[in-house]
Amino acid sequence: MRDQPGSSVTETKGSPRSRKLVVMDWIESRTGFVSFSRKNLDEPMPPGVGWWQTLGNLLMTLLIFQFVTGVALAMFYAPTPDHAHQSVAYIMDGVTMGAFIRGLHHWGSSFIVLVATLHMLRTFFWGSYKKPREMTWVIGVLIFQVILGFSFTGYLLPWDQKAYWASVVGTRIIATIPYVGEHLMVLVRGGKEVGALTLTRFYGVHVMLLPAALIVLTGIHLYLVRKHHISGPVTPRKGRPAPFFPVQLLRDAVVVLVASGLLLMLAVAFRPELGGVADPSGVTFTPRPEWYFLGLYEFLKLMPPSLEVVGTLIVPSMVTIGMLLLPWLDRVESRHPAKRGWIIDLALFMILGIGVLTLKGVLSEPPPPPKAPEAEAVLAPAPTPPSRP
Ligand code: HEM
């Protein structure tokens, strides 16, 4: 950015360039936007920063896509059991480019989980959570929970069989929490069963609570990234930091363009599914969660009924708390993975475990439909009609 606000005096009065500078001067004096942009474009990148550091901005771009397509879908969607499925069917077949927009939103959610996971792994292996970036990491872990919350609440909205029964199973997990579980589940569902109030609640959380949380958390995250600047490679390299513009910005643009192209292709080539309308009285439907919850789903299936709470509550809570406390659990000063001992070993073990379980879930045939007596178990839905407000 070469144009300096205030430099208009050197230009011929009335020329297009001088008019542009006058406009920029005006914007700068009223908003400070020009110096704000320049500061961000000049952000110093330590030597060794490269393609791995493009994932944060890719994530932000995907979240913006998701927000735009979500607002477009909300223009046609009706969050009631009588109309939800019908309105999604109308989006798919009656609205111009409706199937494409829904496709972008559907595939976009998988992209976001994938890119958020890669961004988290990159910052983990680079030890970027260490002093002074502890809070950048903690806010990132919270953002990850919010992203999973979006996926969980969004899954129910089409109100087809898959959506309904997966949400019955997902919310039933809450009931396994000792003492307060049943009450919590009723609170989340808005009644004893998944019904009209569950749909309203999930919709409210999906379009209001989670977006608000995400905007606030992302704002804090980006502020902290700028405050502490980005960390360089684990072993510092010789050389002077380079500004973000033009090299790193170009890398970001390439990655964003490639990912957007892929997303567009998926949205055009594969119409997102819409199964039969939710039938709360049928127990013949076997639910399967989205691919990113399959690891947990398979893990729950391994647990004997007496230890079910280990899979539903104890292990997931320990993993989340461990991730939040990671900057303080890892006492080693070095950021190099080879010097970080048990933290790296544990992470590799978990990544392998989650990977194998997810693969097992993807490859396994859906289990046979549950019989009536099994239907009360956590992994099988109860054959009860939905509640009405
Ligand atoms: C809304 C989602 C997120 C956005 C938009 C975002 C954005 C960014 C950006 C732009 C950067 C700098 C460039 C880069 O390192 O890629 C960054 C760095 C960082 N992010 Fe995120 N991030 C998000 C989620 C997360 C998550 C889920 C975590 C981890 C749990 C995380 C942890 C970090 C850390 C520790 C850094 C500092 C990296 C360094 O200094 O090398 N972020 N983030």
Average pLDDT, the chain: 91
pTM above 0.85, yes or no: yes
Locate the ligand 1 atom nearest the alpha carbon of residue 54 and give its number. 16
Q: Are 286 and 147 in contact (CB under 8 A)?
A: no
Written as six digits, the tokens of 327 are: 């900057």
Q: Is residue 15 part of a domain?
A: no
The DSSP string of 341-386 is HHHHHHHHHHHHHHHHHHHHHHHSPPPPPPPGGGGGSTTS----PP
- Supply φ then ψ for residue 149, to 5 degrees: -60, -40
> For a substitution probing ligand 1, which of 59, 148, 323 has the most ligand atoms within 8 Å of its CB?
59
Considering the domain boundaries, does residue 13 fall inside one? no
For residue 196, is it within any domain?
yes
pLDDT in the model for residue 17:
83
325 in a structural domain: no
Model confidence at 281, pLDDT cuts 50, 70, 90, reads confident
Q: Which of 44, 62, 48 is nearest to 226 (CA)?
A: 44
364 lies in some domain:
no
Omega of the bond prior to 47 within 30 degrees of 0, cis?
no
In a domain, 379, yes or no: no
Read off the pLDDT of each residue in 119-138 and give the average, rounded to a whole number. Answer: 98
State the CATH number of the domain containing residue 239.
Answer: 1.20.810.10
Kindly give, in sequence order, each residue whose CB lies less than 8 Å from that of residue 327, ignoring residues fewer than 6 positions away. 129, 130, 131, 133, 134, 137, 138
Q: In this structure, which residue's CA is closest to atom 9 in ligand 1?
A: 56
For a mutational test of ligand 1's pocket, the pick from 221, 235, 237, i.e. the residue with the most ligand atoms closer than 8 A to its C-beta, is: 221
What gap in Å lies between CA 293 and CA 298, rounded to an integer? Answer: 9
3-state secondary structure of 284: coil
How many structural domains are present in the chain?
A: 1
Q: Can you tell me the mean pLDDT for 52-69?
A: 98
Query: Is residue 91 situated within a structural domain?
Result: yes
Contact 159, 149 (CB under 8 A): no
Sign of torsion over alpha carbons 96, 79, 377, 309: positive
Domain that holds residue 223: 45-289
Joined together, the tokens standing for residue 155 give 């899954």
Residue 63 lies in a domain: yes
Q: Whose CA is nearest to atom 42 of ligand 1?
A: 140
Single-letter residue type at 286: T
